[in-house]
Structure 1
């Protein structure tokens, strides 16, 4: 049996890099004796017992009665879940896939899954094909799935997946919290009721008697957003424990704190810095409905929910902060919030200023990534930095800023403070590499540093300041343009809600900067006005955008980041459309004969010419379009049909 240690608690307020170094004076083995996430929950239950650990909001209505679990109930459920999985044949090297919305049972699947084997949280919005690929790569033995299609069609997906993943032995159905008794559907062979089965398992211990080592793999998290082949990042128990410990130390988390976790629980931000860190310190974690911040009622009632539940911290991605900035306080008392933080994407200065102006809350930024178990740097309470400042590196972490090579990758040339380059890390919470070793080559430098792809610089206070991603750089005639320069300029316009700059393909320059924007509800502005506004605020001529395009909805990833690949594809299509129009006009073709420009996969276009409509000019049009589109730096196929 593992010894009981005190729950994690802050040592002293962190206000400078010297305070971080002071933490490092104690050897890490002494400072952090906890070996696994299972120990975290054992320690917390021993210390906090009947104190509320999780509060689930059934709806966005502040008057609804929530469902609450204590720390003792949570540990009992973790024991039952781990024991159930053990009975189903799950061992320390076996994966347990999870296909759930935000719910209390997600925490049983996560931490019970890690106590029994390796948990694999899945993004429910991925296609069946990608989910099958991810589960097959992990060799998932058990799938824990939501028993309803109300959330992203999860139950139907689960039933389809069970026939396509060869390693899958069982599916466990989690009944929705509002399912009437006796209304559950009949379950096919190999599918069982999760809560009914776990209720029959011991709740006071791990039947397996497993001794979990810090190096044991705890989880597989998939990376790469919603595109590409699956890349499964392996997290050790030690890495996840370190993330929780360091987050508590730098944020000053205490058992009297309350937080609303609006991050998805298939994503590292929601699982580790937002959940595990809080629960390791006795914090009450509020889950705002199964849909989280996608629930319009949660957004519209957010400040009333704050007034009722009295959270001491607010944490959300910048796009959610932008949505909340449109929700008036209407007299709600939000004085309980002492700390507001964001991450996942660079915060626009105008949004930071607007949030502080409207609500009196300074937004503290952090940097997190899957490859570092969810957190890399933190801006502690009481440390006020400009937008883009993501704070201090964690204790025992090494950080470098290096110049980019001619391909935009990390070089071995270190840069001085104040100079921008790629951010590299070595850290106790560094992931254990990808499941497929072939994916590791681009993740690390030749001498073993994690190459983050983030661009940033260190200020004179030892804080990391981010400017963007190396892959998002717009390269115009060999000149690197930071899209953040453009985005900050346009984002200062009062009518702009969100904006994102990308490179549009150009035959001469390679790429030209263009920017897409959504407007604040009720606001109006023309594209010409916004273009002039932006150009006047971008000093460097090559970085001034060639166009501003107003769109109704900004494309987002499932965790609320702006999805730039879709914008780059849209920019490429606009360029192709213009060239098609020019070619048709030169040949005198009528509008009815205009070819259709279509997406061809995720990074290419297809131009389809109607041979009958184009008549005798069809072949000439095809040749002309092949020539002009062939000069552009993207794939375009011109076909007759």
Structure 2
């Protein structure tokens, strides 16, 4: 059955319009493969993916049409099928930002279960993830360092039969290494496969698992979250409707494609509506030249959307607009971490773009709430729930877990959800014990409150609370105060261990280039703006760079470690 690409039903500007979307039927599209197929049939030669080989706006890009994307997905799925991949087999992916990532993502999900992996993880963690999934095939980048890692993984994962090498762009044939048994050339084998169909004849069902995404991979043991095809399709449909996305839109997707933000609210949403997605070099937003030339790239490609995590937006604030014409931009969105009020104000004042916040998580196929275009909210307001979804804010018990008691409007509690894009649980059933409430709601661990317009406002993570002598301190209170200083570029507050109080609030900051301020001045500035005495930080430390994860979130575990090293309380002193 041929279905049309997704298109917004009407603009969403209120909760009443979200409820109107509730009355529409859920999409009949059964799989991510059908999403790609439907758009290819509708848009044919229209550009689906644009890849920037360098960050130089003058450098001609590489482009692939929707027809070519579907053909590549067919060939990739057929190659994996030939290699013995079935519907329940995992295909691991170790690639940077590149067009081939989309062949691996959607071809992998059409043949089996795709497993995108952060290539910057330690080798033992990657091996652990692949052993947890029983990966049968690995698709890896041919650049020497990553390829050497892939070669070693072949001996560490007993289920791994084949490693497919993706040659870096521009590699001459004589530069390619000799491939021993068990290793094959991805492009050479793919191009031998039929491009017009799935030779397996597989009829993918909405409940079939499309992907394993790892979460918690920066600390402890990573967990594998299972995404169904239906959940991922719903995310794309909901994002199109909530954001008003059409085939006239285009955007620079600088999120890594092992992360749900880049794959689902980013890539699949774009493909489902026939929009154009621009990949800014293999290093994405980690490429400093991409940031330096960002506004020129927006002007050249006439992008209509701007999206990045808060740390990326902070970096862009230091890039002069100069004479770049960014009038094509109709929507600016952020997520994945809290947006500081000062950064939101600075970004809007500098570029004339209001930053619309969204809330997403791996356990909800990348998206939970959205602030639509044209809806203005304060920093921390992440918008309305998805249509056909349920959202509650409930009280916490004495151990910080979600209860079944809803809190009044405007009061803080833990955010919980039920939704069509809820994940299908973790691969390891033990990991599900803390993910859900006894009656089946997803316990997010995020703290927030609902305003009078029905929008969710986030205030932090329950596990990020600083507990000082039994007093719960929201780090965002400190971060908002410190972030208001004109010299501060990024900041974060954490708890430092203390033998008497348990934890003491402390803060770290990086400075705007060229700014001069002392740690004592920042401490006094912050303390004067924090009303509750127990929440005033004991000290503020200035760092040359802020530790961040590969997706640009401030990495608080490292800050806690730095705080523990710096915090040396005197045996005779008592803190309370």
TM bucket by the smaller chain? Answer: over 0.9
1:64 alignment partner in structure 2: 59
1:158-194 deviation line (CA, Å, top 9, x unaligned): 0110111000000000001121243211111111100
Matched residues in 2 for 1:205 and 1:27: separation? 29
CA contact (8 A) 1:477 1:511 kept: yes
Please tell me the root mean square deviation across aligned C-alpha atoms, in Å. 1.2
Q: Give 1:57 shift.
A: 0.1
CA contact (8 A) 1:259 1:311 kept: yes
Counterpart of 2:403 (choices 385, 403, 411) is 411
User: Which secondary structure does the structure 1 equivalent of 2:4 belong to?
Assistant: coil
1:384 alignment partner in structure 2: 376
1:474 alignment partner in structure 2: 466
Matched residues in 2 for 1:267 and 1:356: separation? 27
Gaps of at least 5 residues in structure 1 are: 584-627, 633-641
CA contact (8 A) 1:225 1:557 kept: no
**2:499 aligned with 1:511:** no
**What is the count of residue pairs matched by the alignment?**
575
1:290 alignment partner in structure 2: 282
1:127 alignment partner in structure 2: 122
User: Which secondary structure does the structure 2 equivalent of 1:422 belong to?
Assistant: strand
| Runs of 4+ displaced beyond 2 Å | 180-183
Counterpart of 1:75 (choices 57, 70, 86) is 70
1:589 alignment partner in structure 2: none
1:103-135 deviation line (CA, Å, top 9, x unaligned): 000000000000000000000010110000000
Matched residues in 2 for 1:21 and 1:307: separation? 36
Matched residues in 1 for 2:25 and 2:286: separation? 43
CA contact (8 A) 2:481 2:526 kept: yes
CA contact (8 A) 2:217 2:223 kept: no
Counterpart of 1:112 (choices 107, 114, 123) is 107
2:343 alignment partner in structure 1: 351
1:276-332 deviation line (CA, Å, top 9, x unaligned): 001100000000000001101101111111111110000000000000000001111
Q: Give 1:405 shift.
A: 1.1
CA contact (8 A) 1:262 1:287 kept: yes
Gaps of at least 5 residues in structure 2 are: none
Higher relative contact order (CA 8 A, sep 6+): 2
Task: List aligned pairs for 1:406-485, cutoff 5 A.
Answer: 406-485=398-477
2:366 alignment partner in structure 1: 374
- Select the structure of larger CA radius of gyration: 1
1:97 alignment partner in structure 2: 92
Matched residues in 1 for 2:172 and 2:60: separation? 17
Matched residues in 1 for 2:89 and 2:373: separation? 40
1:43 alignment partner in structure 2: 38
Query: TM-score with structure 2 length normalisation?
Result: 0.99
1:574-633 deviation line (CA, Å, top 9, x unaligned): 124x55xx89xxxxxxxxxxxxxxxxxxxxxxxxxxxxxxxxxxxxxxxxxxxx9xx99x
1:458-513 deviation line (CA, Å, top 9, x unaligned): 00111000011000000111111100000000000000010000011112211110
**2:135 aligned with 1:137:** no
**2:237 aligned with 1:245:** yes
Matched residues in 2 for 1:540 and 1:230: separation? 37
Counterpart of 1:564 (choices 525, 537, 556) is 556
Matched residues in 2 for 1:115 and 1:338: separation? 34
User: Which secondary structure does the structure 2 equivalent of 1:163 belong to?
Assistant: helix
Matched residues in 1 for 2:136 and 2:324: separation? 48
